[in-house]
Amino acid sequence: MFLTACGSDHKNSVGGTGGIPGEAGSGGGGADGGSGGSGGDDDPEPETPKVTCGGVRVIDLDGAESPAVLHDKTDTLDHWTSRCTPPDSVGNDVAIRFHAGAAGTYLFSTEGTGFDTMVYAFADCMDGFSELACRAKDSSSRISLRLDAGQIVYVIVDSMNVRESRPFTLTATRVTAPAPVIDKVEAYYTGTTGATAIRLTGRNPGSPLDAINMDIWGAAQKITTYSAFFDDPGSVFRVVSEEGGTFVVEGAFTFPTSAGRIARVDMSVIDENGQASEIVSERTAGLPRRMRGEACDPRKFFDECDSPNVCFVQPPATVPTCQMNTPPVLDSAVVTVNYETGYWGIVVEGRDADSNAAFLRVTPRKNLTSQYIGDGPALIPFRQITYDGVGNFRGVVSLAARFDGPCLAPAQAKRDSCEGRGTAPQTCYDSFVAELNQCYRDVLSLITRVDVEVIDWANAASALIKVTPIAEAPAVEEGDLCDPHGATGACPDELLCWAEQPGDAEVCRANTPVCPANYGVIDLMAHASGAKWVYRGNNSAAARHGAASCGGGGPSDVLAFTAPSAATYRFVTSDLGEKVDTVVSLRPFCQLDGYEHVCNNRALITNPGSQVEATLAQGETVYILVDSALGAATGNYTLTVSR
């Protein structure tokens, strides 16, 4: 927020004007006038910039016409900073003196600039405390200012950790579009929790919404003021919908109940043009109650179900409704481990009148009394759950042994040490994965007790069962219950573990499954490109097809590839969209994640793409899953197959 360059602005003399090509320049005026301008030439050097603001270059931008567009370069030094500047950011910048041509709201944007920017403005370039606005976002940062006709402000285009002069574009536009309008405010206060929830509906025909301002009042005085951009990760408000010139905004926050009741909120929203709606005030009310079958809010921010109903979503439904619910009853649980594959499994049996058991809550422990081992309690969805028609169920969970709590930090330290010695990053990464997997197996061998609970879709829990001892997964035969990972029962090599019909239990079978039609398999053979096969896809709208051994579990495209000749084939993802991180795995059967050939979630350490290799016989078909890493964005990718 402080100006880092200082000095005085000399205004007592006016220098001469430089000449145009082929003509002389005019002299300075007055006793204190500057020297006359030099004559022009046919190939003039760039005009020497004016020196002002303590010796820092300042570029003039006239706002008489809108939009006013400036194309220039940042300076070779870092002169300026603002309250939006990250503590560790050092970047070259430039100052622009903007003259408002008329009264109004002006939007300043760096859209079209080829690097990440910050934009901020001062009323006085010699006073760092005169900052008017700031925004640090990306290559299209923007701020808006309400200016009078003829008013001058100093706009700074700053770079995010760019230590060289770079071309930039600054566009100043006088906004003529209408401001947004808030038509309705719903504000609810819950005294037992101190939570306040707010929903705004309104119109924004001029521009998408950008930010929110709010004053929060108690019974007698203002408690605080809250302002945030909607795209700020820390914002408690979000734009729920925005289409057809209308919007819905929701948010919730909690104060300690000792702070007293939140009695009123004063709200305003700001669009991307910097136009603010009129302030709307609303007093808070108690939560409305919903009856059985009505849509509801499971967070209990905007409503609550009338007792004894509970608000939850039970698949295949997608909207939460108020429903009766009875907690599940857990009768038995068996935990087994397949030390060869590094998978462990849990089989539970019990009763559930609502037939909506959904997860197991699992806590592995070293002994009967110790604290948990690994990462602590985990909520794990059933791999399979079957009911007998009268409420009795059998549920199966099988999962890879991953205990990042005790394993990740030591493995990462060894990887850092490896790279510090100058070893190739991919070699260090491969060692890191091997070290991590070995630690997972070591921790798995230490587990002597597992605490198990069944959780239903309403988040109601059964009583806890402490399972001990932990048995090794049994070998099973054709027709026996199993799972594809061999965690609860391992089939002989010549048999496969799968269920012929959805809802059936998985058993060892001699026949092989056919890929379901609803998988929407993409035929990669139709995308030949010379000696390669290239498919450009987007997995944003894809379904989920199970996690691979090395990660994933998000939306994934499924592609089929049939080897035209016996060879080793390489499968690589590249050209990824913004924040996209892929996980690529190969399966012989599209729906059986337990029979995976190979998996990789990183082509190079510095690249979120993926690369796997597989040796295939002529005519052999594999299914490639282009999955998404946990928490990463889905989107565009290119899959290339080569020999």
Provide the CATH number for the domain formed by 181-283 in this structure: 2.60.40
* Distance in angstroms (rounded) separating the CA atoms of residues 374 and 377: 9
The pLDDT, as a whole number, for residue 594 is 83
pLDDT grade for 426, boundaries at 50, 70 and 90: confident
* Distance in angstroms (rounded) separating the CA atoms of residues 346 and 344: 7
Instruction: Specify the higher pLDDT residue, 259 or 514.
Output: 514
The pLDDT, as a whole number, for residue 333 is 97
* Distance in angstroms (rounded) separating the CA atoms of residues 238 and 632: 20
14 pLDDT above the threshold of 80: no
Sign for the CA dihedral angle at 361, 362, 363, 367 comes to positive
Q: 3-state class of 545 per DSSP? A: coil
* Percent of the chain with pLDDT strictly greater than 90: 58
For the stretch 458-480, pLDDT in tens is: 999 999 999 988 889 999 999 99
Instruction: Specify the higher pLDDT residue, 368 or 158.
Output: 158
Specify whether the CB–CB gap between 308 and 289 falls below 8 A. no
Provide the CATH number for the domain formed by 522-642 in this structure: 2.60.120.380
Cα dihedral: 255, 631, 577, 527 (round 10): -150
Q: Which helix (H) or strand (E) holds 357?
A: strand 357-365
Question: Which fold does the domain 52-174 belong to in CATH?
Answer: Jelly Rolls (2.60.120)
Domain assignments of the chain as residue spans, ordered by start: 52-174, 181-283, 289-324, 332-473, 522-642
Residue 247 bridge partners (DSSP):
202, 242
pLDDT grade for 148, boundaries at 50, 70 and 90: very high
pLDDT grade for 76, boundaries at 50, 70 and 90: confident
pLDDT grade for 370, boundaries at 50, 70 and 90: low
For the stretch 192-207, pLDDT in tens is: 889 999 999 999 998 9
Both tokens assigned to 480:
């026996």
Give the count of alpha carbons within 13 A of 52, CB side only.
16
The pLDDT, as a whole number, for residue 430 is 85
CATH architecture of the domain with residue range 332-473: Sandwich (2.60)
Q: Is 265 exposed, middle or buried (0-12, 13-18, 19+ CB in 10 A)?
A: buried
| Average pLDDT score over residue span 245-255 | 94
Cβ atoms within 10 Å, residue 185: 18
The pLDDT, as a whole number, for residue 630 is 64
